[in-house]
Amino acid sequence: MADYKDKDTYQFVGEVNQINPTSLKAAIADGYIPVLTCMAESEDGQVLNVNADKAAAELARALVPLKIVYLSEKGGIHDKETGKLIEAINLDEEYDEYMKKPWVIHGTRSKIRDIKTLLDDLPRSSSVAIIHPEALERELFTHSGAGTLIRRGTKLQQASSLAEFEDVSKLKQTLVRDREGFDSAAVVDRYLESLNTRSFRAYFDENMEALAIVLPPTDSSKLAQLATLTMTRSAWLSNIADNVFQNLKRDFPKLAWTVKQDDENLTWFSEKADGSIARRGEVLFWYGIESPEEVRELMSEFVQHGRQMFGDINLESQLHRAAAAAERIRAGAANLMGNRPQQDKQQARGFSTSARPARPSVTSAITQKRGYATTTNPNPPLGIKNSDKDYPSKVALIGARGYTGQALIDLLNRHPNFDLCHVSSRELAGQKLKGYERKEITYENLSPDDVRKMAENKEIDCWVMALPNGVCKPFVDAIDESGHKEALIVDLSADYRFDSNWTYGLPELVQRGKIASANRISNPGCYATAAQLGIAPLIPHLAPQPAQPTVFGVSGYSGAGTKPSPKNDVQNLTNNLIPYSLTDHIHEREISSQLGQDVAFIPHVAVWFQGIHHTISLPLAEKMVSRDVRQLYQDRYHGEKLVAVRGESPLVKNIAGKHGVEIGGFAVHSGGKRAVVNVTIDNLLKGAATQCLQNMNLALGYAEYEGIPLE
Which residues are known to be catalytic? Answer: 526
- Provide the β-strand partners of residue 522: 491, 504
For residues 538 and 674, the answer to whether their CB atoms sit within 8 Å is no
CA separation for the pair 109, 348 (Å, rounded): 77
415, 477 in Cβ contact below 8 A?
Answer: no
Query: Which is nearest to 326 in space by CA: 299, 362, 290?
Result: 362
166: number of Cβ within 10 Å:
10
CB-neighbour burial class of residue 229 (10 A; exposed 0-12, middle 13-18, buried 19+): buried
Q: What is the DSSP letter of 689?
A: I
The helix/strand/coil state of 224 is strand
- Establish whether the linkage from the previous residue to 448 is cis, with ω within 30° of 0: no
Residue type, 60: A
Q: Are 702 and 395 in contact (CB under 8 A)?
A: no
Instruction: Give me the count of residues in the chain.
Output: 711
DSSP assignment of 57-88: HHHHHHH--SEEEEE-TT-S-B-TTT--B--E
CA 24-29-32 angle, to 5 degrees, is 70
Q: SS3 sequence, 134-192? A: HHHHHHHHCCCCCCEEEECCCCCEEECCHHHCCCHHHHHHHHHCCCCCCCHHHHHHHHH
DSSP state of 562: S
Residue 244 and residue 269 in contact, taking contact as beta carbons nearer than 8 Å = no
Provide DSSP, 40-62.
EE-TTS-EEEE-HHHHHHHHHHH
State the sign of the Cα–Cα–Cα–Cα dihedral 519, 525, 528, 532.
positive
**Strand, coil or helix: what is 696?**
helix
Q: How far apart are CA 311 and CA 398, in angstroms?
A: 57
For helices 473-482 and 448-456, give the axis angle rounded to 10 degrees: 30
Judge contact between 69 and 136, C-beta under 8 A.
Answer: yes
How far does the chain reach from its first CA to its final CA, in angstroms?
59
Measured between alpha carbons, how far is 459 from 353 in angstroms, rounded to an integer? 7
Longest dimension (CA), the chain: 108
